[in-house]
Amino acid sequence: MTDTSKIPVTVLTGFLGSGKTTLLNRILSENHGQRIAVIENEFGEIGVDHELVINAEEEIFEMNNGCICCTVRGDLIRILGSLMRRRDRFDRIVVETTGMANPGPVAQTFFVDDDMRDQFALDGIVTMVDARHFDLHVDENEEAREQIAFADVIVLNKTDLVTPAELDALERRVRAMNALARVVRADPSERARIPMESVLGIGGFDLSRALEYKPGFLEPEYPFEWAGRYRLEAGRHHLRLEPGPDPTMGLALFQAAPQDETAHDAAERAFKWFSDDVEPVSQERALVPGDELVILDLEPRGAKRFACDIRAPGDYWLVTQHLPDEFALQLVDPLGTVLQPALQQSFDPGHSHDDDIGSLSLETEQPLDPRKFQDWLGRELQVQGASIYRMKGFLHFKGVPDRIVIQGVHMLTDNTSLGPWGDRPRRTQLVFIGRRLDTESLMTGFDACLAE
């Protein structure tokens, strides 16, 4: 999506106190050789007097009869128009939004019309996250969730204030909300210390990069996060758990199939049990293996120990709703030895705490019919545009030799040719990030776009 004739724009978002201004100061003071014009909402000294710093006062501009998903920032349009008359004074623009800003209107401003798209390239939306207070921010504020969902890069900042396990859990939660974003951890010894190339010049997005960083995100989502296969002897075992993020923990403990059964095979078996409505059990009741969901009651908070009676020795799967690390879960044999799984697999959680925000990836090697695709996408954006935060992808059309790249924000889209496919495998990959997406409609409609 990057075009050298366009001015790259980086949008810097993040909740209050997440470290946006610290990162901005780093961007301005690093020796990257670029002259940067800064558009900021929050008043305050930047501390770099040779830079172009402009304060913007938010001016929301609804484009179409109050349609919420076509809302742009009039103040940005004014400033961008003004900056274009001083085009020779800078190489790049950084827009720093307020902590409470919805990134949607800011991002849509760069897609709003052809002239805007001709002059500016949204290089990336960078969202700063306060690792210590992220859960609080996200649980209580829609804007914080939207900032994650819109991001191309998510910087986990203030990492010195959390433990490594907490940081891992945070990254998983963030990835569950936005499967496409690159997640970067700031140096714990210095706030907002990250490689500049991870936030500047990222070129919108790169799906192969997303695949590289999160190889599992195109796999099916399961309502659990982990499965481990254990060799157990007969006798009373115990599951030990420490307090974790939830007052309950769902799990299934069941005998493995006699033949070599993969974790995915086990996951497919366990999948249906996890939708069952069952009552939590306390640690007074001994568990026995079976094809069923068990919800462990972990209230009141404190270390818990659940007996687990194994009647026949053999291989067993333990499938858990949350990652074992989140509860320091251990399976202990009758002699008190902590057992290690012979095989284990983590899964992307379909049950994320942020159930309403998620990603859907559509992929095919068959060429698309451009007309059908255009009609279908137009309809989907019209119906679901308000729910679709970002859309990104590569398109392989029948009869079109070029690789087309598309990205969009809500209802607005931009697409451009990246030139011939060459030796690359021809494949359409399209990803939607949004809230309560009608995934069935998207999948069915997409399938109908295949060329005959």
Contact residues: other proteins, CB under 8 A: 59, 61-67, 69-70, 74, 77-78, 80-82, 85, 111-116, 118, 370, 373-374, 377-378, 381-382, 385, 395, 397, 400, 402, 404, 411-413, 415-417
Residue 432 makes CB contacts below 8 A (sequence gap 6+) with 359, 360, 362, 388, 390, 391, 442
DSSP letter at 351 equals T
Write out the two tokens for 225.
């996060």
Contact 345, 226 (CB under 8 A): yes
Q: Smallest distance from the beta carbon of 109 to other proteins, in angstroms? A: 10
Phi, psi torsion values for 81, nearest 5 degrees:
-60, -45
- How many residues appear in the chain? 452
The packing angle between helices 439-447 and 370-384, to 10°, is 170
Give the residue with the Cβ less far from other proteins, 237 or 403.
403
**Smallest distance, other proteins to C-beta of residue 440, A:** 21
Q: Report, in Å, the least distance between residue 396 CB and other proteins.
A: 11
d(CA 172, CA 241): 20
Tokens 């908070």 belong to 301
User: What are the contacts of 58-61 at 24+ separation with CB within 8 A?
Assistant: 58/98, 58/101, 60/105, 61/105
Q: Which residues contact 215 (CB under 8 A, 6 or more apart)?
A: none
Residue type, 12: L
Per DSSP, the three-state class of 177 is: helix
Nearer to other proteins, 75 or 146 (CB): 75
CB of 127 to other proteins, least distance (A): 25
> Please, what is the minimum distance in Å from the beta carbon of residue 407 to other proteins?
13
- In whole angstroms, the minimum distance from the beta carbon of 410 to other proteins comes to 9
Q: Residue 424 gets which letter from DSSP?
A: S
If the CB atoms of residues 55 and 282 are measured against other proteins, the closer one turns out to be 55
CB of 249 to other proteins, least distance (A): 43
Note whether 448 and 226 are within 8 A (CB): no
Backbone angles phi, psi at 139, to 5 degrees: -70, -30
Smallest distance from other proteins to CB 328, Å: 49
Nearest-approach distance from CB 435 to other proteins, in angstroms: 18
Beta-bridge partner residues of 40: 55, 96
Secondary structure (3-state) at 144: helix
Bridge partners for 416 per DSSP: 405
Question: Would you say 76 or 181 has its CB closer to other proteins?
Answer: 76
| Long-range CB contacts (within 8 A, 24+) of 134-142 | 134/170, 134/173, 134/174, 135/170, 135/173, 137/15, 138/173, 138/353, 138/354, 139/353, 141/15, 141/100
Least distance from C-beta 389 to other proteins, angstroms?
15
Query: What is the torsional sign of CA 79, 89, 52, 22?
Result: positive
Minimum CB distance to other proteins smaller for 77 or for 184: 77
Q: CB of residue 110 vs other proteins: minimum separation in angstroms? A: 12
Residue closer to other proteins (CB basis): 119 or 255? 119
Q: Is the peptide bond before 300 cis (omega within 30 degrees of 0)?
A: yes
- Comparing CB distances to other proteins, the nearer of 141 and 415 is 415
Shortest approach of other proteins to residue 13 CB, angstroms?
23
Tell me the β-bridge partners of 395. Answer: 404
- Closer residue to other proteins in complex, CB, 258/419: 419
Which stretches of 319-423 are DSSP H helices?
370-384
Cα–Cα nearest to 416, from 118, 20, 8, 15: 118
- The alpha-carbon radius of gyration of the chain (Å, integer) is 25
Q: Which is nearer to other proteins, 162 or 404 (CB)?
A: 404
Q: What is the 3-state secondary structure (H, E, C) of 228-260?
A: EEEEECCEEEEEEECCCCCCEEEEEEEECCCCC
